[in-house]
Amino acid sequence: MDGLTLALPRGRLWGEVRGRLQAAGLPALERVDEDRRLLVEAGGGWRYLLARPADVLTYVREGVADAGVTGKDVLLEDAEGVYELVDLGVGACRLVVAAPRDVDWPRQVAERGAALCIATKYPRAAQAHFAARGVAPRVVKLGGAVELAPQVGLADAIVDLVASGRTLAANGLAEVELVAPITARVIANQTSYRWRAADLFELEGRLQP
């Protein structure tokens, strides 16, 4: 197959994702961590772009990458214009609603509803989650370290990723609702889906768990 340009996620996801890509026979993945270069020419037409998971989506959507790997959390927030092809099954965690430990959350929702304030990196996903139950709380967007918000009175609860739950616990929060289970997903650009169909199909086949 001819190599593709892939946007790959730096950070938390990278270790497990790299394992899957290696198992699929993609070349030169060891070069990715070698130096600080964000663009790796891996030979055979393969190119790797290293980016934050949210930016992987942008690179793929804009077509500078044929395909990429990012978290389902990124896609829940915004999946416009890309094809979601494969669930790699790695990078498993959960997108949850978390509230202060001592709070009666179901009662809070029932009594306060739209008066609630939710802080999150995922405003659209949070809004959609509550809207499905007919609740429309106020949603405040934060860029990170969202666990701070309830402690200082910015929000009643948060919608955030949780893996072990230790960060939540350390900040006095507990998981109260599951929004969605999250894993790493392979996405493809709309145009590449047609013009690199054979190569993407081959890649898909190699990456299916």
| Residues of the shown chain interacting with other proteins in the complex, contacts defined by CB under 8 A | 61-63, 75, 79-87, 123-125, 127-128, 131, 185, 189-191, 194-195, 197
Cβ proximity to other proteins: between 100 and 123 the closer is: 123
CA distance 88 to 187: 11
The residue among 20 and 168 lying less far from other proteins, judged by its C-beta, is 20
Question: Please, which residues bridge with residue 97 across strands?
Answer: 159, 177
Contact 135, 112 (CB under 8 A): no
DSSP, collapsed to helix, strand or coil, labels residue 195 as helix
Q: Which is nearer to other proteins, 66 or 156 (CB)?
A: 66
Smallest separation, CB 10 to other proteins (Å):
22
Instruction: Name the minimum Å distance from CB 147 to other proteins.
Output: 23
- What is the token pair recorded at 5? 């340009």
Minimum distance from CB of 102 to other proteins (Å)? 30
Tokens of 164: 């072990």
Least separation, in Å, of the C-beta of 16 and other proteins? 17
Taking the C-alpha atoms of residue 42 and residue 5, their distance in angstroms, rounded to an integer, is 10
